[in-house]
Each structure stands twice: as structure tokens, then as C-alpha cells.
């Protein structure tokens, strides 16, 4: 929804991202103009399932009041969970005091406190962890992991081994079966995982730090801020941001599948210079632009041939 950093830029919006997992919509950061962008790209305001705010700088937060008010106008009744640093409770209290008339749905603030990745939300098909980043104020990254799917039975084994319905159910739950005669039916022999669980990491404003690569190791898709090119590496260090090259180094060390970079400084009319510096280190880097969609393909594991 937005690729700019703090200063306004024509045709660019501050940080906001929609992640869709099994039909559920997660909003990550809530910069100014997020409502217009949601409408522009076909997302319903009231269908936002949960909101994750990385930190309390305005370019990641100023869209929140408008979004909450519009949700109320649209008749939202379902509770809204907002995962944000502890001081967000003061902001939410101010909103409810001055603009909360007509808000009939519960807004639940879940304070973020973890340093290393810690699960903050767990649903049927996904779990979300938060971890500390290295910025000027308390800032968090997020790790979204699709849960491992239920095991599939190898269908030819049903007849060849005379499996009962009870035995099939036990094996699909990931448990070995021990028959009355002592025969053991091993899960790995009779079942398989149908597909690989996907993962995405979101690293907003942060300077590089040693632990980050281990926090996000092996994710399929990494979003990492790349506010500056190497010509302003000193500025990046002073403001606790990253250059494209630094983001690429993290991606390389973490062994991620691919990386998307954003949060570009207004100093760069064309962020392609940042992209080129990142790709020189980590070729599987893409440039975020407003309205772009990035899919994480499903990798299916076939059942072994009979």
C-alpha cells in the first residue's frame, strides 16, 4: 500500500502492507492514506482481520484514526486486535475519548514486548511472531508462518495393508499405529505432508544488527526497509535505518528465498539505484511499488509412486 518513508512524496504513500493468508487479511503498519489505498486495490476496510504496527513513528501510524473511524461507519461489529508497542495504549485511549463515539466493536491492544521471536498470535492456519529491531525507538519486526498442513494418507496403502478408518485417522494425526499383534505402522511410511508451509518476514525501520539473520532464517519472502543507497550510509547509521546493500546482506546471511525492499527516502526520485546495489549482493531482490502484489507459490509434495 505504501513505499515511502517519513516525508510526503507525490504518488507515494507511507508504510502500509496487506498480507493475505487463507482468505484472512492482516494489515502491517498503518501509514497516512491507507484507507484510500485499501479502496484503490479492492480490500474491504471491515475485513481487515488484525493490525500489526511496527513502531510509533507517524509514517507507520497516522492512518490508524481514520481507519478505525471508517470501520465504525461501515458497521463493523467484530473485535479488532492491534499488535503494537506498549505506548500505543495511550494513543488508543485518546482516540476513544475524542473520536470513539459510534465505535461499537471492541479494539484490543496486544502490547509487544519480546526481544527474540515470540508468538503473539496463533490461528488455525498461521502463527505470527514479533521480535525487536534496532531503531531509534522501540520497534518490532514480524514473522508470519503458515502452519504445517494435516498429513495425507498414501491411498494405495489403505488396501495393501487393510487399514481401518480408525487407523487412518490415527496416522493422519501424525501418530504411529500399534496393532494387536504388535505390528507397528509408521507415520512416515503411510502418510506424507501435502505441501510446504510458507513464511514471510517483515522488517521495518532498523539498522543492521547481528541477530536479525537468525530471526528470519529461511523465510520464503522477506520485506526489508531500504531507506538509503550507499551514498548516504552515514545518514542510515545516524538515523538507525538500512541501505539496500545492508538489507541484501541480511537476506544473504539468512538464506531467504527472495526479498522485497521499500521505505525509500524522498531524496531518491528513482529508487532503482537502491535496487541495483541490493541486487549486486542478493540478486533475488525486488523493488516495492504502490499496488504491487507478491505471491508466495505453494510447493506441493507428491505422494510417492506405488
Give catalytic residues, as residue numbers.
59
3-state secondary structure 8-68: CCCCCCCCEEEEEECCEEEEEEECCCHHHHHHHCCCCHHHEEEEECCCCCHHHCCCHHHHH
Give φ, ψ of 260 to 5 degrees. Answer: -115, 130
* C-alpha grid cell, residue 272: 532503482
In 243-264, which positions are buried (b, 16+ CB within 10 angstroms) versus exposed (e)?
Answer: bbbbbbbbbebbebbbbbbbbb
d(CA 164, CA 153): 12
59 vs 263: CA distance, rounded Å: 10
> What is the layout of strands, in order, in the sheet containing 258-262?
118-122, 126-132, 140-146, 199-203, 221-225, 258-262, 285-287
Q: Give kind and range of the element (H or E) at residue 78.
A: none
Measured distance CA(75)–CA(103) in Å, rounded:
9
Report the 10 Å Cβ neighbour count for 42: 6
Amino acid at each position: 500500500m505504501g513505499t515511502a518513508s517519513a516525508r510526503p512524496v507525490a504518488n507515494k504513500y507511507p508504510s502500509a502492507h496487506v498480507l493475505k493468508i487463507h482468505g484472512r487479511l492482516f494489515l502491517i503498519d498503518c501509514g497516512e492514506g491507507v484507507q484510500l489505498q485499501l479502496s484503490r486495490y479492492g480490500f474491504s476496510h471491515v475485513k481487515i482481520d488484525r493490525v500489526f504496527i511496527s513502531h510509533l513513528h507517524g509514517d507507520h501510524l497516522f492512518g490508524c484514526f481514520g481507519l478505525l473511524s471508517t470501520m465504525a461507519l461501515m458497521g463493523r461489529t467484530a473485535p479488532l486486535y492491534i499488535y503494537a508497542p506498549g505506548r500505543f495504549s495511550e494513543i488508543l485511549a485518546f482516540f476513544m475519548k475524542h473520536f470513539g463515539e459510534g465505535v461499537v466493536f471492541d479494539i484490543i491492544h496486544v502490547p509487544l514486548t519480546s526481544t527474540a521471536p515470540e508468538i503473539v498470535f496463533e490461528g488455525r492456519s498461521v502463527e505470527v511472531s514479533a521480535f525487536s529491531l534496532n531503531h531509534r525507538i522501540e520497534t518490532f519486526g514480524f514473522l508470519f508462518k503458515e502452519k504445517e498442513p494435516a498429513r495425507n494418507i498414501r491411498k494405495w496403502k489403505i488396501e495393501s495393508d487393510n487399514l481401518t478408518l480408525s487407523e487412518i485417522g490415527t496416522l493422519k494425526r501424525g501418530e504411529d499405529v500399534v496393532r494387536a499383534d504388535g505390528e507397528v505402522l509408521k507415520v512416515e511410511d503411510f502418510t506424507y505432508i501435502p505441501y510446504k508451509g510458507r513464511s514471510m518476514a517483515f522488517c521495518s525501520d532498523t539498522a543492521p544488527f547481528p541477530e536479525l539473520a537468525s530471526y528470519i532464517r529461511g523465510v520464503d519472502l522477506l520485506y526489508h526497509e531500504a531507506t538509503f543507497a550507499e551514498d548516504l550510509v552515514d545518514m542510515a547509521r545516524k538515523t538507525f535505518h538500512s541501505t539496500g546493500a545492508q538489507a541484501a546482506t541480511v537476506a544473504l546471511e539468512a538464506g531467504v528465498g527472495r526479498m522485497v525492499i521499500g521505505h525509500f527516502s524522498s531524496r531518491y526520485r528513482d529508487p532503482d539505484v537502491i535496487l541495483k546495489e541490493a541486487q549486486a549482493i542478493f540478486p533475488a531482490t525486488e523493488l516495492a511499488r504502490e499496488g504491487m502484489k507478491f505471491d508466495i507459490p505453494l510447493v506441493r509434495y507428491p505422494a510417492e509412486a506405488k
